[in-house]
Amino acid sequence: MVTMNRALLAAVLATGWLAGTQAQEPKRDPSVLAERVAAVRPRIDSAYEGLTELYKHFHTHPELSLQETLTADRLAKEMTEIGFDVTTKVGGHGLVCIYKNGSGPTVLVRTDMDALPVIERTGVPYASKVRVRDKNGNEVGVMHACGHDMHMTCWVGTAKTLVALKDRWKGTLIFLGQPAEEIGTGARMMLDDGLFKRFPRPDYCVALHCDARLPAGQITYSEGLAMANVDSVDVLVKGRGGHGASPHTTIDPIVLAAKMVLDFQTIVSREMNPTDPVVVTVGSIHGGTKHNIIPNEVKMQLTVRTTRDDVRKNVLDAIKRIARATAESARAPEPEVTVNLSEFTPALVNDRKLARRLVGVFEEVLGKGKVNERPVIMGGEDFSRYGRDGIPIFMYFLGTIDQKRWDESLKPGATPLPSMHADSYWPAVEPSIRNGVLTMSLAVLELMGK
């Protein structure tokens, strides 16, 4: 059996992932869903202009992880005006917005709020021009290159819709505004601050995420395992500096670092079972100040992606072993290898039964051809943490590319569509907002509707 920690094992067994069980889609009355769609669409129409303005505001005013002060203030204002009881500063800049509407299920709808240190090059009229200093004092651009601005807009639109239709559902809504998703710490911070102790414990948690390579109007999803474990690893390679013309008097940490970069790749190619997905990427390497100076040290930053906890342990142990062996082979000081547990993101495991239930709704509304299962991807999402102690969770992916751009990208020799986190990614505003609010509103009504 796969080796996992208890929390993940419980969540996985609940989904039937290991057992291979197939959750049964519940039967629903098509006329009820049709009535809900007919009620939701006019609400989206009436709110659309304001939601578009809100989206462009978020896009032009992005804030980095742990700095989401103004974003949280704006969301708190919007949710208070809608009628939610809003608590701010939960786990940093996190928001917990509660709307009670009688006896019934408690459903949590989550959005993330933070942006990325990326200089925007989309060319749209509302492009971000924000420049700030990061935690290391470097000047960086700031951009919503992962679609969190669209997530927030759909979140507010869904809240407006559900409150306007409160005669159609019963229970408690928890709309969660989460900080610091991009660095994998926001969910943990909110949970550590008593999220499920100070506030009602949800029966279900749901969220959507933009997809940069999926046409607007389509949705993808995963049943069970959806996204990977994510670890951040820092390696400080130590040497003995000196003159570049006299390398024999030094221990060159740049050469050692180069060896480590290459040998780290053999962890995946020669130490892991080929059927176990693993990624080891050196995303940052810095050392030296001048052409003819051999430095004393080199700093490397790695991201490690795995889907099983036993594989995760083996990969992290191998990184430490290779780094130390490489240093020893050159009589260099022992390197420092640090696994940053504060940025660890556990694997995202969707609840199978919940996924089937909500996917059934999406298929009836959008058509089965526009709702497709996606394979496991090696990205990370700390939304996973809300399901670690048994709460059913489900995240689905929202197509955001307009049809013309999509068609152009398929032509021979065409430039591929940008991925998430690219400086040239932007969602098609109207279809993304409309489909995001429609699908999320119907998902919640499915779980809470009369």
Assess whether pLDDT exceeds 70 at residue 12: no
Contact 71, 65 (CB under 8 A): no
- Round to whole Å and give the CA distance between 369 and 192: 41
Say if 386 falls within a structural domain: yes
Domain CATH number, residue 314: 3.30.70.360
Instruction: State how far the Cα of 340 lies from the Cα of 231, in Å rounded to an integer.
Output: 7
The answer, yes or no, to whether residue 23 has pLDDT greater than 60, is no
For residue 45, pLDDT beyond 80: yes
pLDDT-derived band at 134 (thresholds 50, 70, 90) equals confident
d(CA 15, CA 440): 21
Terminal CA-CA length for the chain: 41
Q: Are residues 265 and 194 in the same domain?
A: no
Q: Quick check: is 330 in a domain?
A: yes
Q: Which of 314, 343, 372 is the last residue of a domain?
A: 343
At residue 135, the pLDDT reads: 79
Longest dimension (CA), the chain: 82
Quick: pLDDT tens for 417-433. Answer: 999 999 999 999 999 99
pLDDT greater than 60 at residue 22: no
Instruction: Find where tokens 């490489």 sit.
Output: 326
| Together in a domain, 399 and 439 | yes
Q: What's the whole-model pTM score?
A: 0.89
Q: What secondary structure, in 3-state letters, does 327-360 show?
A: HHHCCCCCCEEEECHHHCECCEEECHHHHHHHHH
Same domain, 100 and 176: yes
CATH of the domain at 26: 3.40.630.10
Give the pLDDT confidence of 390-418 residue by residue, as tens digits: 999 999 999 999 999 999 999 999 999 99
Angstrom distance (rounded) from CA 375 to CA 236 = 35
| 36 lies in some domain | yes
Residue 1 lies in a domain: no
Asked if residues 181 and 64 have their Cβ atoms less than 8 Å apart, the reply is no
> For residue range 355-402, what is the model confidence (pLDDT) as tens digits?
999 999 999 999 999 999 999 999 999 999 999 989 999 999 999 999
- Nearest in space to 140 (alpha carbons), one of 182, 90, 92: 182
**Within this chain, do residues 17 and 104 fall inside the same structural domain, yes or no?**
yes
Q: 421: which 2 tokens?
A: 């986190």
Per-residue model confidence (pLDDT) at position 10: 45
Mean pLDDT computed over 273-293? 96
Contact 205, 358 (CB under 8 A): no
Answer yes or no: do 296 and 429 share one domain.
no
pLDDT at 137: 86
> Do residues 152 and 111 lie in contact, with contact meaning Cβ atoms separated by under 8 Å?
yes
Cα–Cα distance, 177 to 113 (Å, whole number) = 7
pLDDT in tens, 210-240: 999 999 999 999 999 999 999 999 999 999 9
109 alpha-carbon distance from chain centroid = 14
Convert the pLDDT of each residue in 92-125 to its tens digit: 999 999 999 999 999 999 999 999 999 999 999 9
* Distances 168 to 165, 204, 206 between C-alpha atoms, Å: 6, 18, 19
Residues in the chain: 450
Task: Please say if the pLDDT value at position 88 is more than 50.
Answer: yes
Which of 155, 148, 149 is CA-nearest to residue 126?
Answer: 149
Same domain for 282 and 183: no
- In DSSP notation, 266-306 reads HIIIIIS-TTS-EEEEEEEEEE-SSTTEE-SEEEEEEEEEE
Encoded amino acid at 7, one letter: A
More confident residue, 230 or 22: 230
Lowest mean pLDDT among 128-142, 314-328, 362-376: 128-142
Instruction: Find out whether 300 and 234 touch, Cβ atoms under 8 Å.
Output: yes
User: Do 72 and 158 fall into the same domain?
Assistant: yes
Residue with tokens 């547990």: 341
Are residues 332 and 351 both part of a single domain? no
pLDDT of res. 25? 53
Q: Scan for tokens 């009589």, then name that residue.
A: 331
Domain limit, last residue, from 284, 310, 343: 343
Q: Which residues contact 102 (CB under 8 A, 6 or more apart)?
A: 170, 171
Q: Is residue 171 part of a domain?
A: yes
Whether 11 maps to a domain, the answer reads: yes
**Are the C-beta atoms of 406 and 394 separated by less than 8 Å?**
no
- How far apart CA 335 and CA 326 sit, in angstroms, is 9
Number of structural domains the chain divides into? 2
- Any idea which residues carry the catalytic annotation? 112, 182
Domain span including residue 238 = 230-343
User: Does residue 146 share a domain with residue 246?
Assistant: no
Sign for the pseudo-dihedral over CA of 22, 211, 380, 314: positive
Residue 62 has pLDDT above 80, yes or no: yes
- Out of 316, 343, 370, a domain closes at 343
Q: Does pLDDT of 16 surpass 50?
A: no
E strand or H helix at 238: strand 229-238
Residue 331 has pLDDT above 50, yes or no: yes
Q: Does 204 lie in the same domain as 101? A: yes
Phi, psi torsion values for 103, nearest 5 degrees: -85, 130
Same domain? For 331 and 387 the reply is: no
Residues 329, 354 within the same domain:
no
CA contacts within 13 A on the Cβ side of 219: 27
